[in-house]
Chains A and B, each alone.
Chain A
């Protein structure tokens, strides 16, 4: 389908495609097995200026465009959903600074993030606070010109490898959700260490770690926005970042479909290529149709955000929900087409299922996405 991309957008797509095919695909299995952080590949992505796609020009980027970020993430994810998320997670960690950062904070952090010289990460989730984000326990108490952070964050993408962390902590417990604040915490800060590195089902090229704050001193100027704005920062960030996760899911689905079509043509059974069987053809047709529907939704929501629309929560939630469910279904069907071979690690398709699964879970489970959508519907009626 023609999405009427501009020349610049075609360029982003073409370059990301080239990087994905030449640099990601050949190493995808290696990083999946070794779980090493793919710094060498990220360096290439950085050299290609792709980290600049979500950062304003004034701070060394190419201008903030969720749509462009989606194009790049989709293409990279076609080849490796794991490496792609290292890239996209840096956007997640950067959005709070773009949306809520002071001029000084932007000047200090954005240029290095735009160059890809440093990665960012977003730290909200805690062992006891997943979907129920309001129950986070990490605390920040003010002492003079510092905030002192205590607590543990876990399941943090880019944890340990990123230099810049956005950490949400309670500055006033008695105020509940309105008592949370967001801080920029630099790697290497005293009292900030990394705990368990998770051993994951998929996206194994990316790193997911525990962050431990033990009387961690953070300068007061690293507070994002104002005290009590922590959850507003979080919600607005997720509204903007969800299409990126959706694009990751979309890319994984597209990559799986391409492998399935290729395999169906090669694989001979009953003295014919299995692509000649209607049973297989219909599966492929459904996969392609669902992917195209997901793409339309992802692109539309990303374009809406870039246009400056205010209430984008519902739409970005729909994109993330739909694209990730499509990714799970498409990758499952793609493996089915590979049959027994698909179940084996010698073939690349099983990785796509493992990589797809997380897109239904992170940045808000799909059940939470449905809550967001339903709440918007009910609110609209109440207006």
Chain B
């Protein structure tokens, strides 16, 4: 089974600061990590390989420093890493990013004689769009299942999975090749091992440019991105609530009064 895991390097913080002039993320002084949801995708990829055999490849689009994220994935058990990096990709939105990744996947597919499963985290912790995974499947014209919480079975070229919903979960079947975006319920990612870390340190990471992956220059980078960011701003902080005090009857009266708009 050939498995491709798509990951993104993100700033290690839940409070992303935005430069109001450029509308871009302030990354200075913030440590970079693998997008937490992608770690579950890596773990699932390694587990599928342990179960079915085959090969796992991790890919990311980003600057040279994103190689660290690929090596970390290798230390968890992924076989190979590919960094897709080119100045021409700068400013890509989710459409251009998913197009770029799909071009790289086509190249991997050609070299490996096809692929079976693509795994992505459900969304990135910085952008929170959840669009790149579905975008890749669209560009590749393969089925997708988002929010996968369990891969139940893969048999006769058919995968049966559970998709997390707000009410519970759906059970879906999809033919291979297929793309899954995964949620954190799917597994408990392992820690890297020392042997894995040593392997990762020595692993050769392939670097591919726009030309290497045969990407149409009109579809990549800022010019290939249909999204226009008009303005980004930090939402105003919520105002504190009001605490009602007193015994139950008193509080209930006050609350009813407030709801009716009689008292303020």
Which of B62-70, B193-201, B222-230 interfaces with chain A? B193-201
Stretch at the interface among A42-50, A128-136, A186-194, A299-307: A42-50
Quick one: closest B residue to A8, CB to CB?
A: B198
Q: How far is the CB of B184 from chain A (nearest CB, A)?
A: 15
For chain B, give the interface size range.
under 10
Determine chain B's interface SS by DSSP, over half rule: helix
Smallest CB separation, A5 vs chain B (Å)? 14
CB contacts (< 8 Å) of A18 on chain B: these are 191-192
Q: Is B190 an interface residue (CB 8 A)?
A: yes
Q: Does A76 contact B (CB under 8 A)?
A: no
A48 to B193, CA, bound (A): 4
Question: How far does the Cβ of B42 sit from chain A's closest Cβ, in whole Å?
Answer: 16
Q: Across the interface, do B201 and A15 meet the contact criterion of CB distance under 8 Å? A: no
Contact B192 A15 (CB under 8 A): yes
**Cα of A53 to Cα of B195 in the assembled complex, Å:** 11
Q: Is the CB of A44 within 8 A of B194?
A: no
**Which chain B residues numbered 161 to 217 have a C-beta less than 8 Å away from chain A?**
190-195, 197-198, 201
A253 smallest CB distance to B (angstroms) = 25
Is B191 in contact with A11, judged by CB distance below 8 angstroms? no
**Cβ contacts under 8 Å, A149 to chain B:** none
Chain A, range 38-69, C-beta contacts under 8 Å to B: 44, 47-50, 52-53, 62
- CB pair A44–B201 under 8 Å, yes or no, is no
CB within 8 Å of B: which A19-53 residues: 19, 22-23, 44, 47-50, 52-53
**Minimum Cβ distance to chain A for residue B31 (Å):** 13
A7-B201, A11-B201 are contacts. A23–B194 as well, Cβ < 8 Å?
no
Chain B: minimal CB distance from A6 (Å): 11
Separation in Å of the A185 CB from the closest CB of chain B? 30
Among A12, A19, A52, the residue within 8 A (CB) of B191 is A19
Name which residue of chain B comes closest to A49, CB basis.
Answer: B194
A12 to chain B, nearest CB (A): 7
Q: Chain A 334-361 against B: per-residue CB contact (8 Å), 1 yes, 0 no?
A: 0000000000000000000000000000
With both chains docked as a complex, state the minimum distance between the C-beta of B254 and any C-beta of chain A, in angstroms.
35
| A12 lies within 8 A of B194 (CB) | yes
Could you tell me if A48 and B201 are in contact, using CB atoms closer than 8 angstroms? no
Taking a contact as CB atoms under 8 Å apart, the answer to whether A62 and B191 are in contact is no
A234, B190: Cα distance in complex, Å: 38
Nearest neighbor of A52 in chain B, beta-carbon distance: B194
Tell me the nearest residue of chain A to B200, going by C-beta: A11
Cα distance, A11 to B72, chains bound together (Å) = 12
Docked CA distance A8–B201 (Å) = 10
Subset of 27 A-B contacts with CB under 8 Å: A7-B201, A11-B197, A11-B198, A11-B201, A12-B194, A15-B191, A15-B192, A15-B193, A15-B194, A15-B197, A18-B192, A19-B191, A22-B191, A23-B191, A44-B191, A47-B190, A47-B191, A48-B192, A48-B194, A49-B193, A49-B194, A49-B195, A50-B194, A52-B194, A53-B194, A62-B194, A62-B195
Closest 9 CB pairs of A and B: A49-B194, A49-B193, A11-B197, A48-B193, A49-B195, A48-B191, A15-B194, A48-B194, A19-B191
Q: Which B residues are within 8 Å of any A CB, using their own CB?
A: 190-195, 197-198, 201
Interface residues of A (CB under 8 A from B): 7-8, 11-12, 15, 18-19, 22-23, 44, 47-50, 52-53, 62
